[in-house]
Amino acid sequence: MTELSIVRLVAGGDGLGFADGKAVFVPGTLPGERVRVSISRARRDFDQAVLREVVTPSPHRVAPGCRYAGVCGGCDWLHIAYEEQLRQKAAIVAEALRRTGGIERPEPPIEPSRPWGSRSRAQVHRDPEGRLGYMGARSNRVVAVESCPIAAPAIERLFVEPPPVGPRDRFTAFADGDHAAVEGRDDERDLAVEVNGRRILLSVGCFFQANLGLLGKLVDWATAGLAGTAAADLYCGVGLFGSFLAPAFSRVTFVESSAMSLSYARRNGSGPDHQFYPLSVEQWIQSGGAPPAAGALDAVIVDPPRAGLGAEVRQWLNRARPRKLVYVSCNPVTLARDLRDLVSSFTLDDLRLFDFYPQTSHVEAAARLSAREDA
């Protein structure tokens, strides 16, 4: 047993402490706490540990609001009061920008969510006995659950009344109003979500943001003031951002590797001069579809997966230098890495966080950049 003090929380949600000068990462902890831990995995530069006892608790520690806390892998911050979760997420993003991106900025503002019942999209798993649940904490074992307080009520009801989805061992569920659409049963049904007065169509199999309560605020912030002749919505999914750009631009280019998602983007961002590419962003660049000349695009919005922008995409953005660039990210570390490469051609004007994932260490970040005149 090792006793140590937790210095801060890091990207990924664990607490960081030091034992004999060596970094130790401990889930389930808070800054300022004195804890006893067992080392679960020793590496050359750091150790991973399991929390055994909180000797001196933080004033921000709370009793978890879910009976599956620590067993289910869905939520890793159930032990932290919600206001403190917001503060810690802002601190983690600022630290990632400094350490990974070499960018010094104050902690960004964060838009709060409803702490409970806000998750409108979930990946549900089936255990060997046929019960539904989520993957276990730091394991590949399914934990069967009968309730999920972070999920929208329509999704939570699925755990009590499992839907007929055939032999699937996992499926996506999406809260479509008072009902939950599920893969394997509702694949052919068009779902409709209203965002800031605009009707967005999608399928349950398409990727879509999981917090509808905050989505309108993110869209407003990301698209505010953008107008001109040509814009691009890259990694566009069902064309959410592009559909809001379409009225303000003569031509919007939608790029998405999922053919199904792009079919919905065509419906959500309809217009005679808009362009749609069923390609990865890298393939779009390689095919010559991407404008090679600097300044050919007035605005670009990118919303990549957790891995962030590939090197080829960052290089193209630095060459193309759209007048305005908006980067939406679910991973502060890859966001910071990418901004490090982009600030040679762009000025980072603003950064805002949106707490799409309360009770977890995850956060949605959005950065607004302008092309540098001197680049």
With 0-12 / 13-18 / 19 or more C-beta atoms within 10 angstroms meaning exposed / middle / buried, residue 23 is middle
Candidates 82, 134, 159, 135; CA nearest to 113 is: 82
DSSP string, 136-186: BTTSS-EEE-S--TTB-HHHHGGGTS----TT-SEEEEEEETTEEEETTTS
Amino acid identity at 291:
P
Collapsed DSSP state (helix, strand, coil) of residue 90: helix
The answer to whether the beta carbons of residues 5 and 33 sit under 8 Å apart is yes
CA distances from 324 to 133, 203, 350 (A): 42, 30, 12
Say what the alpha-carbon torsion angle 161, 165, 170, 171 is, to the nearest 10 degrees: -90
Question: Scanning the structure block, which residue is given the tokens 């599956």?
Answer: 68
| Strands, sheet with 142-144, edge to edge from the N-terminal-most edge strand | 142-144, 132-135, 121-126, 170-176, 179-182
Distance (Å, rounded) from C-alpha 317 to C-alpha 325? 9
Distance (Å, rounded) from C-alpha 146 to C-alpha 151? 12
Distance (Å, rounded) from C-alpha 308 to C-alpha 329? 7
Give catalytic status of residue 330 as yes or no: yes
Catalytic residue among 66, 148, 206, 330: 330
Residues annotated as catalytic are 330
